[in-house]
């Protein structure tokens, strides 16, 4: 199957002049993308976002003949593949580096604004992504300040940062609208108190918090080593969903990617915690419909994870899931994000 064959059978998708996915929609849409990144707000070598000419490769996506848009994350990893031994962990880590490297090099203003225009997106929420050694929050704030009509910034502070509370207050004063974090239970080594303290500090300044959540549930345990299994499950929904018991009920927590393949478990946490939301990048039309049926549409938010993924893919899934519910479409694409961003 080719890209041309794929978009012929997929409603709301087309290819642009560069052969990349773009939205195919005749009407007008108000859209805020709640999950995007920019080159220099990512934890690798800083790349000037003003650079031009870099074409994104989207290494996150599977090959076209293996793309299945009917399942969350359009399954790239083969469930029958053997992932045992140290080499499997190295291969997994190198693939992650390749994805980040493509995001850093391709997440430029030129590519960002072109994608926004093609997909009718009025604003991207730019998520900084920091580590213990590298805080990218000021870069996200700077790019949002340069283009306030197109970008909104989230900061990122690691739970083990000794200046965590001071930084959160500072970034709030500088205009950050929330906090983004990608952290694993392996990295935290089973001690979640620093993360809980971070979340409480965010609550005190009325920050939205978006965490990367979810694991690939189709992977078979018998095909992996112990270490690989821990790695694959290190950001599972349960790890972070259970922490919400330690926070006030109105704490604004966003399950990034809606837990990927664990979206049904995300729905259960949304029912228990009325301040929580689900961001929909990586989801299918069917899984989005499931979330609407289970928890309603007022706590679901469109996100793409651009430039890891094309903005048009998740957007087309939202359009499919809301064909018979225009009110839900308006809330998921824009109104819920507007309410969170104030």
Enumerate the domain spans of the chain.
3-341
What's the pLDDT score for residue 220?
A: 78
DSSP class of residue 19 equals: S
Distance, C-alpha 303 to centroid of its chain: 6
What's the pLDDT score for residue 304?
A: 98
The pTM score is 0.95
- The pLDDT confidence band at residue 42, using thresholds 50, 70 and 90, is confident
Token pair of 191 as six digits: 């001690």
Lowest mean pLDDT segment, chosen from 42-46, 127-131, 191-195, 300-304: 42-46
Q: Residue 83 in 3-state DSSP?
A: strand
Q: Does the pLDDT value for residue 240 go beyond 80?
A: yes
Q: Does the pLDDT value for residue 338 go beyond 90?
A: yes
What's the pLDDT score for residue 113?
A: 97
The burial class, CB within 10 Å (0-12 / 13-18 / 19+), for 57 is middle
What's the pLDDT score for residue 94?
A: 85
The arithmetic mean of pLDDT across residues 206-213, rounded, is 97
- The pLDDT confidence band at residue 76, using thresholds 50, 70 and 90, is low
Mean pLDDT taken over the chain? 92
The arithmetic mean of pLDDT across residues 67-74, rounded, is 88
Q: Does the pLDDT value for residue 274 go beyond 90?
A: yes
Q: Does the pLDDT value for residue 218 go beyond 80?
A: no
Q: Find the angle CA(258)-CA(31)-CA(10) to the nearest 5 degrees.
A: 70
The arithmetic mean of pLDDT across residues 204-211, rounded, is 97
How far apart are alpha carbons 281 and 206 in whole angstroms? 24
Say what percent of the chain tops pLDDT 70.
99
Q: Does the pLDDT value for residue 44 go beyond 80?
A: no
Q: Does the pLDDT value for residue 74 go beyond 90?
A: no
| Residue whose C-alpha is closest to residue 156's, from 302, 42, 276, 38 | 42
What's the pLDDT score for residue 224?
A: 82
Asked if 139 contacts 46 with a C-beta cutoff of 8 angstroms, the reply is: yes
The arithmetic mean of pLDDT across residues 243-257, rounded, is 97
The burial class, CB within 10 Å (0-12 / 13-18 / 19+), for 333 is buried
Q: Does the pLDDT value for residue 212 go beyond 90?
A: yes
Q: What architecture (CATH level 2) is domain 3-341? A: Alpha-Beta Barrel (3.20)
């Amino acid at each position: 199957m080719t890209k041309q064959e794929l978009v012929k059978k997929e409603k709301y998708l087309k290819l642009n002049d560069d052969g990349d996915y773009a939205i195919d929609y005749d009407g007008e849409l108000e859209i805020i993308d709640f999950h995007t990144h920019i080159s220099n707000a990512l934890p690798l070598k800083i790349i000037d976002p003003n650079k031009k000419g870099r074409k994104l490769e989207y290494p996150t996506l599977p090959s076209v003949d293996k793309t299945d848009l009917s399942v969350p994350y359009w399954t790239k990893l083969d469930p029958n593949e053997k992932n045992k031994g140290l080499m499997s962990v190295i291969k997994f880590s190198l693939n992650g580096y390749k994805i980040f490297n493509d995001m850093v090099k391709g997440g430029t203003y030129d590519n960002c604004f072109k994608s926004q225009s093609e997909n009718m997106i009025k604003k991207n929420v730019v998520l900084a992504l920091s580590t213990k050694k590298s805080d990218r929050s000021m870069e996200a704030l700077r790019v949002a300040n340069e283009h306030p009509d197109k970008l909104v910034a989230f900061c990122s502070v690691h739970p083990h940062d000794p200046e965590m509370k001071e930084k959160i207050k500072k970034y709030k004063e500088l205009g950050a609208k929330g906090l983004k974090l990608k952290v694993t239970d392996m990295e935290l080594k089973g001690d979640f108190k620093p993360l809980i303290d971070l979340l409480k500090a965010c609550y005190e300044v009325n920050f939205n918090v978006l965490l990367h959540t979810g694991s690939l549930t189709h992977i078979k345990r018998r095909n992996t080593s112990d270490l690989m299994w821990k790695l694959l499950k290190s950001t599972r929904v349960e790890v972070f969903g259970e922490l919400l018991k330690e926070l006030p009920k109105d704490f604004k927590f966003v399950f990034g990617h809606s837990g990927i393949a664990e979206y049904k478990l995300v729905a259960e946490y949304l029912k228990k915690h009325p301040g929580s939301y689900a961001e929909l990048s990586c989801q299918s039309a069917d899984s989005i419909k499931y979330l609407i049926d289970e928890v309603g549409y007022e706590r679901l938010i469109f996100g793409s994870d651009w430039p890891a993924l094309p903005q048009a893919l998740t957007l087309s899934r939202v359009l499919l899931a809301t064909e018979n519910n225009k009110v839900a479409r308006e809330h998921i694409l824009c109104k819920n994000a507007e309410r969170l961003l104030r």
